[in-house]
């Protein structure tokens, strides 16, 4: 289900301004189409149902323009936007799934298959983190390839937030190191690792989505 959001944009004086607003809105996760006019200053945005108006407003204001009837105190950054918390949680969940596939798969391989590899626990964990990043990018590429060309999907995927993924990977592996000694999966440590991997980057993903309209994935 799609929704159409009309925004009265202020401060645009040329086609370059309109282009900047259009680009900023198109970069918001979930936006499907954007039409921007200078006279009157207006942006018509077609989005998925889970994209909140406040995210679109934040994206426009982050690009240097205003929204009629909105001020920075009304629509600027804050930590109280439930719609953004919900959407950032959804985005973080997908990032976690991708990272976990490579991370847990690597640890499991050394724990159950390559048991005499001679690799130190720290080396295995570093490899697990790298593979987690790669599988997250790979999963995102596959998902996006259903909507766009494979090359474009890969370009978007590698543009995902590296900070978010690194924080996620570090949190999971620190929990594993502290609770098991490192590079070991048990039935009780996996849920704790997943929780830590989700909760650690979630506030950052909220901030990035709320302030710039950009998702972590």
47's tokens: 């989005």
Q: What CA dihedral angle connects 68, 69, 72 and 77, to 10 degrees?
A: -100
Q: Are 93 and 127 in contact (CB under 8 A)?
A: no
pLDDT for the residue numbered 155: 78
pLDDT for the residue numbered 76: 58
Q: What CA dihedral angle connects 72, 75, 76 and 79, to 10 degrees?
A: 140
pLDDT for the residue numbered 13: 84
SS (H, E, C) 117-182: CCCCHHHHHHHHHHHHHHHHHHHHHHHHCCCCCHHHHHHHHCCCCHHHHHHHHHHHHHHHHHHHCC
Domain ranges (residues) in the chain: 2-75, 82-211
Among residues 57, 46, 65, which one has the least CA distance to residue 84?
A: 57
pLDDT for the residue numbered 73: 44
pLDDT for the residue numbered 111: 96
Q: Are 197 and 100 in contact (CB under 8 A)?
A: yes
CATH number, span 2-75 = 3.30.70.100
C-alpha of 174 from chain center? 22
Q: Which residue's entry shows tokens 């924080």?
A: 167
pLDDT for the residue numbered 134: 94
Angstrom distance (rounded) from CA 101 to CA 93: 13
Mean pLDDT by 10 residues, the chain (217 residues): 88 87 86 91 86 85 81 63 83 91 97 94 96 91 77 76 91 96 95 98 88 69
Exposure string for 46-62, b = 16+ CB within 10 A, e = fewer: ebeeebbbbbbbbbbbb
N- to C-terminal Cα separation, the chain: 21
């Amino acid at each position: 289900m799609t929704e159409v959001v009309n925004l009265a944009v202020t401060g645009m004086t040329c086609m370059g301004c309109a282009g900047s607003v259009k680009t900023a809105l198109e970069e918001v996760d979930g936006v499907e189409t954007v039409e921007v006019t200078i006279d009157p200053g207006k942006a018509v945005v077609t989005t998925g149902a889970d994209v909140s108006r406040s995210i679109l407003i934040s994206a426009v204001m982050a690009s240097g323009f205003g929204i009629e009837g909105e001020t920075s105190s009304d629509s600027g950054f804050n930590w109280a936007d439930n719609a953004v918390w919900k959407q950032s949680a959804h985005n973080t969940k997908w990032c976690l799934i991708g990272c976990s596939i490579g991370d847990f798969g690597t640890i499991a391989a050394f724990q159950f298959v390559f048991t005499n590899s001679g690799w130190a626990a720290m080396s295995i964990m570093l490899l697990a983190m790298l593979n987690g990043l790669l599988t997250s990018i790979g999963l995102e590429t596959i998902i996006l390839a259903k909507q766009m060309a494979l090359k474009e999907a890969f370009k978007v995927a590698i543009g995902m937030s590296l900070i978010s993924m690194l924080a996620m990977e570090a949190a999971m592996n620190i929990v594993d190191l502290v609770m098991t000694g490192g590079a070991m999966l048990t039935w009780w440590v996996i849920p704790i690792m997943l929780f830590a991997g989700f909760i650690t980057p979630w506030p950052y993903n909220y901030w990035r989505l709320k302030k710039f309209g950009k998702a972590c994935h």
